[in-house]
Structure 1
Amino acid sequence: MAHLGAHFAFRSRWQKTDDELCRHSMSFILHRAIRNDFFQSYLYLLEKIPLDLINICHIGISFHWIPGLISSSFVTYLLLILTLIGLEYSSKKLLKDESMGVKLYALTSQVINGEMQFYARAKLFYQEVPATEEGMMGNFIELSNPDIQASREFLRKFVGGPGRAGTDCALDCGSGIGRVSKHVLLPVFNSVELVDMMESFLLEAQNYLQVKGDKVESYHCYSLQEFTPPLGRYDVIWIQWVSGYLTDKDLLAFLSRCRDGLKENGVIILKDNVAREGCIFDLSDSSVTRDMDILQSLIRKSGLAVLGQEKQDGFPEQCIPVWMFALHSTDTPDQQWE
């Protein structure tokens, strides 16, 4: 059987004992190794054999009956990840079947096992993240400069001038310590507000943004699913690398509230990872990465339209694609942009 060769190849990569694997079964190192090594060997099979729950059960049985292939204590974790992959591919079909309305897709209804757990896991993850630029970038600090440069250029197309967003006030959603505010928003806007669920990040932001701190009007310590922007307050609402921490229904509701928080000609900038197919669940930080179809469905149903979109350049090929979207209310006349 073809998949046995993949399993044995994966097994040969491990130098640690089964006991060591068990002790580290929820570590970031193991999780990344599973994603990068083990499941790469399954990609070609997924193109031919959809992984529904029945197939996953069969694979699980094969794990138990193949001596020395992999420890039984490790099977539960593998089956969980396999289930996520199976649901990832089924989410595409669910999206098409629910064309008349938005409901929670497969990953954000079945896999997360409840909204409270989904959000609680993310908060626990960020309690361990240092309040530094490196922490905000997930230790990929080398990507910060190309990210900032692309964001500046994209924003410039939609602010200033007749029929465009103004430059009075911007909101930085999921701001962390204010990396985007410092390098992208504060040089353009008269005032900026930050919102983040982590109080420790917002406290550090006051030091991090000290040079331009007089332009920071307020710090809001809220989770985005609980935050409502004041009506008609902002010229630009910036949402970067945080939409994946909201369930589909909460993201839809939040985008709708952000739409109501815009001034005339205001825009929402949504910047995030975009999956190539379906929806990807990341167990390590309790987030989802949606594909273009799912994102655009949520955008449309929130009463927003895509004014412009661009792919982030300058990131390594192995990175998940990052896209920038400029969104405005469907009630807003078409704006002029380059």
Structure 2
Amino acid sequence: MADAGETSFYSNAVDYWRDVPPTVDGMLGGYGSISSIDINGSKAFLRKFLGEGEGQTGTACALDCGAGIGRISKRLLLPLFRSVDLVDVTQEFLDKAKTYLGEEGQRVGRYLCSGLQDLVPESGRYDVIWIQWVIGHLTDDHLVDFLRRCQKALRPNGLVVIKDNVAFEGVVPDEVDSSVCRDLSIVHALVGRAGLQILHEEQQTDFPKEIYQVHTLALR
């Protein structure tokens, strides 16, 4: 992707999200009704790894990437981790998160306003880095670089989790929000390029038939 094209790919996405209402429905593109199904699936997935014992992932600190108003932080991460950091490209969403998260928001360590292509997470800080419905906003090279930075940001036995839409074949661009949807083999290849292993992968069930399949991958 040429520099000019790359620049507009990112700036168009920023413009799109700036006009989205800071609500759960806004975060989910009008599919607010699937939020509970999504969270329950994620919780079951994550619980396979968390806990005491050899090789298990700790619960000190998580990073919510593309956090929006904190939908995932509120219902998935804050109940499971002692502290959570939120990163999003839209400052208005992070401002809204401060009220949306309520009392539990006191356990948020940092609100980071940044695109993931520019984010350098603190080394060795996170047990889990949760990346949901946002990898489509990164170019292939930026996604690989970001995943490498995430790996450095993990604590011992930490996990990077990607949960995202999966295309049937190839790469499907979305002009509306300036993103792409990749097929699973492409996601696997990019994860491999970043030097990460896939520990576990599953498809989210019970989503509406008309939306993309959603897959969750645990990486280390």
TM-score range (shorter-chain normalised) is over 0.9
Q: Which amino acid aligns with 1:297?
A: A
* CA shift for structure 1 position 117: 0.5
Q: Which amino acid aligns with 1:212?
A: E
Tell me what 2:12 maps to.
121
Kindly report which structure 2 residues correspond to 1:134-283, keeping only aligned pairs within 5 A, or say none: 134-162=25-53, 163-283=55-175
TM-score, with structure 2 as normaliser: 0.97
Kindly report which structure 2 residues correspond to 1:45-124, keeping only aligned pairs within 5 A, or say none: 109=1, 114-124=5-15
Q: Which amino acid aligns with 1:313?
A: T
**In 2, Cα distance between equivalents of 1:199 and 1:121:** 16
* CA shift for structure 1 position 113: 6.0
Residues 1:289 and 2:181 are matched in the alignment: yes
3-state DSSP of counterpart to 1:114: helix
**In 2, Cα distance between equivalents of 1:125 and 1:285:** 6
* CA shift for structure 1 position 206: 0.2
Residues 1:306 and 2:202 are matched in the alignment: no
* CA shift for structure 1 position 323: 0.2
**In 1, Cα distance between equivalents of 2:33 and 2:95:** 24
* CA shift for structure 1 position 161: 2.2
Deviations 1:26-54 (A, max 9, x none): xxxxxxxxxxxxxxxxxxxxxxxxxxxxx
Tell me what 1:323 maps to.
215
Structure 2 unaligned segments of length 5 or more: list them: none
- Runs (4+) of structure 1 exceeding 6 A deviation are none
* CA shift for structure 1 position 208: 0.4
**In 1, Cα distance between equivalents of 2:26 and 2:39:** 16
Q: Which amino acid aligns with 2:50?
A: V
Q: Which amino acid aligns with 1:156?
A: R
Tell me what 1:39 maps to.
none
3-state DSSP of counterpart to 2:50: coil
Output the aligned Cα RMSD.
1.1
3-state DSSP of counterpart to 2:142: helix
* CA shift for structure 1 position 321: 0.4
Larger-Rg structure:
1
Deviations 1:60-113 (A, max 9, x none): xxxxxxxxxxxxxxxxxxxxxxxxxxxxxxxxxxxxxxxxxxxxxxxxx27x96
TM-score, with structure 1 as normaliser: 0.64
**In 1, Cα distance between equivalents of 2:120 and 2:49:** 23
**In 1, Cα distance between equivalents of 2:18 and 2:76:** 26
Q: Which amino acid aligns with 2:76?
A: V
**In 1, Cα distance between equivalents of 2:28 and 2:203:** 18
Q: Which amino acid aligns with 1:277?
A: E
3-state DSSP of counterpart to 2:79: coil
* CA shift for structure 1 position 244: 0.2
**In 1, Cα distance between equivalents of 2:48 and 2:144:** 25
Q: Which amino acid aligns with 1:121?
A: N
**In 2, Cα distance between equivalents of 1:316 and 1:194:** 28
Aligned-residue sequence identity (percent) comes to: 48
Which of 1 and 2 has higher RCO (CA within 8 Å, sep 6+)?
A: 2
**In 1, Cα distance between equivalents of 2:198 and 2:184:** 12
* CA shift for structure 1 position 139: 1.0
**In 2, Cα distance between equivalents of 1:117 and 1:316:** 31
Tell me what 2:21 maps to.
130
| More strand as a share of residues | 2
**In 2, Cα distance between equivalents of 1:127 and 1:218:** 21
**In 1, Cα distance between equivalents of 2:16 and 2:75:** 25
